[in-house]
Structure 1
Amino acid sequence: MIGHVWRSWRSLRPYEALTFVVAALLFGAIDLTSLVDLDVGGRLPEVLGRHLGLPVVSCAVLLLCWLPAARSSPIHTARRARLVGATLLGSALTIAVIYPLAATLPWPSICDLYALKHGKPSCNMFRISALIGDTLWVAMPALMLVGVLEFRTLRRRQDQAAQDLLREHSQLRRQALEARLATLQAQMDPALLFDALVAVEQAYGRQDPAASARLERLIRHLRLALPRLREAGTTLAAEAELIASYLDLLRDLNGQPPAFDCTLGARGATPLPSMLLLPLVQRALRLGRPQRCWLTADGRITLAFDDEGLCSEDADLAALRERLVVLGATLVCTSAQGRTEFTLQLPS
């Protein structure tokens, strides 16, 4: 219990202290409007010191009582009761501290000056009714202040919970897309590899001199493609190698893939999520007949084809854009004058 109280006091935040101080000054300034009707003379600093200093002391006592309740479990069923109880206890302790302190201060109050002016009894006389009234006078604005702070704390927790939920949703969505991508790869690669194996076998069967080279290209593609089934990330240079090996396999299968030119420079080591570029190449071969393909990197990654009309939206491109949104990247497609360019901008 004592440890919790001590940790609560040490966790005081600047805005909380500032809130209580400002509330104390505003609370103390309420009675200062009565100075207009009183001639205080040279005692004005003493009056101001009394009426602004005592509320600051009161709010300090309230703050020390409020902090342990405010730092209790935010989901505890008795949290509101604890806050109300701590506020009422703080109000009572405030009166217990302020009454003796006010009696020992040599500075006059507005009430003292008013009583002196009109010949009334001193305001320092102890009365039970005044004690109860002052306690309620402190408790009511204190409860309002605690309510505002609790509402602010609740709102902050709700905002944080919403951000955590969105972050978790984004992570789950990313993982789902990566899992779906791996599934698509597992479904696509076996068919291509089976055809390539059959072609290599037939080449060896007819004693084709190029059979050995075709087998080496198949092995190279396997070394590049198989890790993609279990890895979520790669580099731009590795993705370019995958595209080149894919086009080589198509060429071995009597296809007519485009010639592939790659200019990466120092950008080859750029981290890149797996399977962002190869689906664009496969889609271009399915929709058109490009004869050349370029991959360049100069701050942005550009994959270009010497064929128009490859920017039309379809399910494959929509799925790729959806994945890019999750990754925080953007893809822009332009097509004109016999050329189509896909520009990929990765998050910095």
Structure 2
Amino acid sequence: MIRHLLRSWASLRWQEALVFVTAGLLFGAVDLTSLLEFNPGDQLPQVLARHLSVPLLSCIVLLLCWLPAARSSPIHPARRARLVMATLLGSVLAIAIIYPLIAAMPWPSMCDLYVAFHGKPNKCTNHRITALIGDALWVFMPALMIVGVLEFRALRRRQDQAVQDLLREHSQLRRNALASQLAAMQAQVDPKLLFDALIAVEQAYARQDPDASARLERLIGHLRVALPRLRDTGASLAGEAELIASYLTLLRDLGGTPPTLDVELGPHGNRCLPPMLLLPLVQRALRLGHPTRCWLRAGPPLRLGFDEAGLCSDDAELASLRERLAVLDAKLSCHSADGRTEFTLNLPT
């Protein structure tokens, strides 16, 4: 209990303190409107000090009672009752503290000036139980309105925060789902390509080709690079370059003429990037043309190029890849000129 009180008081925000202090000064200023009825003379500073300090002290007591209830669980079923009881307790304590304080104050009050001005008996310090109850209710009602406004603002703030959290969670889930989908797509081995590679290895062994064992090792190497991506939701730049190299080597073993690959990663080989970015571009380039050279530069930005122009056509495959990249906060651009095509990938940091 004591620890909760201390933590609650320590968590006071300056905006909350400003609300209570402003309310205290405002109520004190309202009382001072009675000064328009008569001239307090040289007692004006003492009257101002008394009638501004008393409501300010009341609001400080209310603030200290309100904070533990405000810092309680926002979803507790008794939260509203706690706030009302804390406000009521603060009102009673404020009056209990103010009564002996104003009795000991040497400064005159508005009541003192009034009875002196009209020549009536001074009953300003005659505190009865009915006056105590009335003054406590006088403090409680406006204090409850202030607490209600603060609670409404806190509720709106929690709701806005919950909405933002849900949006961030939805975005993260969408990213994770897309990354998993792309990883699974990247890990897929073309059945026809795999079947042709196995037949080619079998035929090489049948004719006792001395390169048969090496071709089998290269096929196994490609599968070792591609299959683990079934479990991964991300990739490294070096791993993607290795996947492209093994894929082109596999095509070469099948009698094709894939382009040579030139890779320059520098210190960026371990850089993480979303899967299914580079290999689809290479496969697309081989379907659309016959490049003889391919290069990969780490950048930034990341660049994948081919020594053939005309590979920037906006087909459905490229549009789909750009849509996936947009979800991942990445951007793909393409430039084709002078017998070459280069794709530029701007990836999130």
For the criterion TM > 0.5, the same-fold answer is: yes
Residue by residue, what CA displacement relative to the aligned partner does 1:87-139 show, whole Å, maximum 9, x if unpaired?
A: 12322222222222112211112332233223234333335665444333322
Q: Which residue is 1:39 aligned to? A: 39
**Structure 1 contact 174–323 (Cα < 8 Å) conserved:** no
Residue of structure 2 in register with 1:296 after alignment = 297
Alignment of 1:150-299 (within 5 A): 150-299=151-300
Q: State the distance in 1 between where 2:291 and 2:237 align.
A: 22
Query: 3-state DSSP class of the match of 1:340?
Result: strand
Q: What is the aligned partner in structure 2 of residue 13 from structure 1?
A: 13
In structure 1, what is the equivalent of residue 73 of structure 2?
Answer: 73
Q: Distance in 2 between matches of 1:311 and 1:99?
A: 85
Give identity over the alignment, percent.
70
Q: Are the structure 2 counterparts of residues 80 and 313 from structure 1 closer, same or farther at C-alpha, using a change threshold of 3 Å? A: farther
* Equivalent position of 1:308 in the other structure: 310
Q: Look up the SS of the partner of 1:257 in the other structure.
A: coil
Task: Let me know the Cα RMSD of the aligned residues.
Answer: 2.6
> By how many angstroms is 1:313 displaced?
4.1
Separation in 2 of the partners of 1:204 and 1:191?
20
For the 8 Å contact 1:61–1:93, the answer to whether it is kept is yes
Q: Which runs of 5+ in 1 are unaligned?
A: none
Quick check: 1:237–1:268 contact (8 Å CA) kept in 2? yes
Map Cα deviations across residues 3-45 of structure 1 (whole Å, 9 max, x no partner). Answer: 5445433433333223222221222222234445543343333
Amino acid corresponding to residue 118 of structure 1 in structure 2? H
In structure 1, what is the equivalent of residue 98 of structure 2?
Answer: 98
Q: Deviations over 1:49-72 (max 9, x none)?
A: 211211121012212221222122
Question: Within 5 Å, which residues of 2 pair with 1:60-139?
Answer: 60-122=60-122, 123-126=124-127, 130-139=131-140
1:168-193 deviation line (CA, Å, top 9, x unaligned): 22232223223323432454355433
Letter in 1 for 2:77: T
- Does the 8 Å CA contact 1:258/1:292 hold for their aligned counterparts? yes
Q: Within 2, Cα distance between the matches of 1:118 and 1:226? A: 99
Q: Name the TM-score, length of structure 1 as normaliser.
A: 0.88
Question: In the alignment, is the contact (CA less than 8 A) between 1:311 and 1:333 conserved in 2?
Answer: no
Pair 116,191 (structure 1): closer, same or farther in 2 beyond 3 Å = farther
Pairwise CA distance, 1:158: 1.4
Task: Work out whether residues 332 and 344 of structure 2, in 8 Å CA contact, stay in contact via their aligned partners in 1.
Answer: yes
- What secondary structure sits across from 2:203 in the alignment? helix
Structure 1 pair 85–120 and aligned structure 2 pair: CA distance change class (3 A):
same
The alpha-carbon distance between structure 1 residues 69 and 228, as it changes in their structure 2 partners (threshold 3 A), is same
- Quick one: which amino acid aligns to residue 105 of structure 2? L
Matched position secondary structure for 1:207:
coil
**Inter-partner Cα distance in structure 1 for 2:26 and 2:256:** 84
Residue 22 in structure 1 maps to residue 22 in structure 2: yes
Q: Give 1:268's aligned amino acid.
A: G
For structure 2, the residue ranges without an aligned partner over 5 or more in a row are none
Deviations 1:273-327 (A, max 9, x none): 333211221222233333332211222101122231434141x334433433343
**Residues 188, 227 of structure 2: 8 Å contact kept:** no
1:320-342: CA deviation from partner (whole Å, max 9, x where unpaired) = 33433343322223344543322
Structure 1 residue 268, shift from structure 2 partner? 2.5
Contact 1:308 1:337 in 2 (8 A): no
TM-score after normalising by structure 2: 0.88
Cα deviation, residue 154, structure 1 = 1.1
Question: Which shows bigger deviation, 120-129 or 132-141?
Answer: 120-129
Aligned length: 347
- Post-superposition Cα deviations, 1:123-173, rounded to whole Å, max 9, x if no partner, equal 333356654443333222211211121122112211221222122222322
- CA distance in 2 between counterparts of 1:98 and 1:313 reads 80
Partners of 1:236 and 1:268 within 8 A in 2: yes
